[in-house]
Amino acid sequence: MRYDKQHKTAIRQRILDMATMRFRSEGIAAVGIANLMADLGLTHGGFYWHFKDKEDLVAQACRQAMEHTSQQWQHQIQQAETGQQRLAVAQHYLSIQHRDFPDTGCVAAALAGELSRHTAPARQAFTAGLQQQLDTLGQAAVQDGSVATSPFTPAVQLSLMVGALLLSRAVTDGELSARLLQEAEAMIAHYSPLSGT
């Protein structure tokens, strides 16, 4: 049976969506192509109509997830009060909900360690996505007026947020987990334009 281009595009997107979610929640190495396709009710061989190999899927999933995170940040920035753009991103990112649902969250916090051992295409997709996130934080700093006064460059803020989220997911002490998120947010808030600092 022959399928039209629209059907093929829809199937490819289903594979990509499922892979993106499972990579973040289970890790890249834990997700096999045969298992992924079976969960979607598709054949293993059908995978290769859509992606060259698993590394191609990893790169595309990483690109999609990073773009989604940047879009979420843009939304937070647009909804933020004047002078609170960067803080709004931090509050969204450093939330208990984000901590507890890695399958829909930030790729950097979920997969950076694994991606460092992958091939160039996957790492290039991650690099491009990370640069987009830094650009988004840079735009927020211009909008909220913190670009000239805050020691929190976009790279510092992103590193602080990713590190705090990663550690908060790894520890077994719930109080410590919450404190890691709260103190990272408080540090970013301290240098926001409306803090008076």
DSSP state letters, 120-164:
HHHHHHHHHHHHHHHHHHHHHHHHHT-TTT-S--HHHHHHHHHHH
Measured between alpha carbons, how far is 8 from 5 in angstroms, rounded to an integer?
5
pLDDT of residue 119: 85
| Amino acid letter for position 100 | D
Q: In this predicted model, which residue has the larger pLDDT, 192 or 136?
A: 136
pLDDT tens by residue, 113-165: 999 888 899 999 999 999 999 999 999 999 888 777 777 899 999 999 999 99
pLDDT mean over 159-175: 97
pLDDT of residue 104: 92
pLDDT tens by residue, 87-107: 999 999 999 999 999 999 999
pLDDT of residue 197: 46
Asked if residue 194 has pLDDT above 70, the reply is: no
Measured between alpha carbons, how far is 165 from 37 in angstroms, rounded to an integer?
30
pLDDT mean over 179-188: 96
Q: In this predicted model, which residue has the larger pLDDT, 181 or 150?
A: 181
Cβ contacts of 146 within 8 Å, gap of 6 or more: 83, 86, 152, 191, 192, 193
Cβ atoms 23, 58 nearer than 8 A: yes
- Look at residue 189 and give its three-state secondary structure: helix
| Domains of the chain in sequence order | 55-195 (1.10.357.10)
Asked if residue 50 has pLDDT above 80, the reply is: yes
User: What pTM does this model have?
Assistant: 0.89
